[in-house]
Structure 1
């Protein structure tokens, strides 16, 4: 039996302990790590690549939603959300075939979630699905009716994100480290924040982003000014290491142009 390498993410040690005790009854689950913050979880994910994450939504500083936004689209693990939200709110997850557990976690419900993840026909939700669920859940919680597609534009040297249920964001291009795509969503990453907008990568590259941005993967754009070094992999692929120590994969398709642009 293939085991599911599992990470538990919750800011309450007692919640992690309780979930770990319950998970001990499932031979297919191997707990390989615990994290109390989003930053700790991201470090662990980059190093150990878990198959499954039990993710608390409400945490101080950065929520579980922020972790979802930071995940690399090409290596998105299966996620089971753990939440204290009332069941009407998490219907946003159900309609996109995502799973969740309501606190306090019941063993019977935990078994259902694990069976679903373990099912050979199950495919982990993509980052696009996760972001769409997060978006819908936040809209339900705020009781705001979704509007039209949000606008994004250039304001001098800034990217302007106008989302129907969020304040207008003006992000200097110099502050953007990388951008990754998840279908109709784009995650814009700075040193300390991640901003989500509805947009297509092709439109950003052709119409919006300045020349210092380059596509390095089918789902990733990087600001060349923030690359500190390249680490070679197999088959002419690379890891690009950014100024904040973030590691991004450079696919073979885009590696040649990247090397030319950096030299």
Structure 2
């Protein structure tokens, strides 16, 4: 049984979706909310597997609600939106689908099939997506995670180095490190995150720190504080 919740501020839209979900016998609606504050409380208390989430709510943006949750508390998300150009946030928080309002039965059925497959896959449902969405003005670039070697903090932004290009993302390094950890990325400095598999050369310093040379040619400092994490990622038992 899939435990589903709905966060939508328009009562008529909630009524319509609730009615449409009744024909899906493997789904049980465990709660509804009409704003961000009540929605956050609903997620904490009901712990739904699947969340139908409006992109725009009276007290904020739906994607911000998901970003504010610890990754282990995030349900699968299907966005609800009245405008097709509001679908981009779905890429940024790894939503499995988005539905244009008024929601159609066929589109809903397809989205639920995706949710069933993700939930049936177990841990794969929580695996990182294969790309990172980076906005550049009116354009959104989907940067393949496999192409990223290095992420550096620069003020309020992150510089994502991928295939010879640098993409700017407004995000905290700790948040991105948590997201990319399963893909083999390691924090090597308070302001740097690298793919362990991209490390080609390690040059020692006298104080226990080191310099890493990556496959891209970039050189990144490795602090002794973060050294054990890199050793584990590289399969080293002790030292280099």
* TM-score, scaled to structure 1: 0.52
- Show the 5 A alignment for 1:150-189: 151-152=152-153, 160-162=155-157, 164=168, 180=175, 181-184=177-180
More strand by share: 2
1:118 correspondence with 2:116: yes
Q: Which residue of structure 2 lines up, in the alignment, with residue 142 of structure 1?
A: 138
CA distance in 1, matches of 2:130, 2:56: 16
Gaps of 5+ in 2: 159-167, 192-240
Aligned residues: 169
CA distance in 2, matches of 1:64, 1:89: 11
Structure 1 runs of 4+ with >3 Å offset: 87-93, 121-132, 144-151, 163-166, 179-182
- Counterparts of 1:56-205 in structure 2, within 5 Å, are 56-86=54-84, 90=88, 93=91, 98-119=96-117, 120-121=120-121, 125-126=125-126, 128-129=128-129, 132=132, 135-136=133-134, 139=135, 142-143=138-139, 151-152=152-153, 160-162=155-157, 164=168, 180=175, 181-184=177-180, 202-203=187-188
Q: Is the 8 Å Cα contact of residues 73 and 127 (structure 1) preserved in structure 2? A: no
- 1:34 equivalent to 2:36? Answer no
Provide closer, same or farther for how the CA distance between residues 22 and 144 of structure 1 changes in structure 2, counting only shifts above 3 A: closer
Please give the secondary structure, in 1, of the residue aligned with 2:12: helix
Please give the alpha-carbon distance, in whole angstroms, between the structure 1 residues aligned to 2:76 and 2:101: 19
Alpha-carbon distance in 2 for matches of 1:98, 1:20: 19
Contact 1:146 1:165 in 2 (8 A): no
**CA distance 1:6–1:101, shift in 2 (3 Å):** same
Across the aligned residues of Structure 1 and Structure 2, the Cα RMSD in angstroms comes to 3.9
- Structure 1: stretches of 5+ with no match in the other structure: 154-159, 172-178, 186-199, 209-263
Counterpart contact for 2:8–2:14, Cα < 8 Å: yes
Q: Structure 1: how far apart are the matches of 2:140 and 2:106?
A: 34
Q: CA deviation at 1:142?
A: 2.4
Q: When the two structures are superposed, what TM-score results if normalisation uses the length of structure 2?
A: 0.56
Q: Does structure 2 conserve the Cα–Cα contact (< 8 Å) formed by 1:89 and 1:140?
A: no
Please identify the structure whose Cα radius of gyration is greater: 2
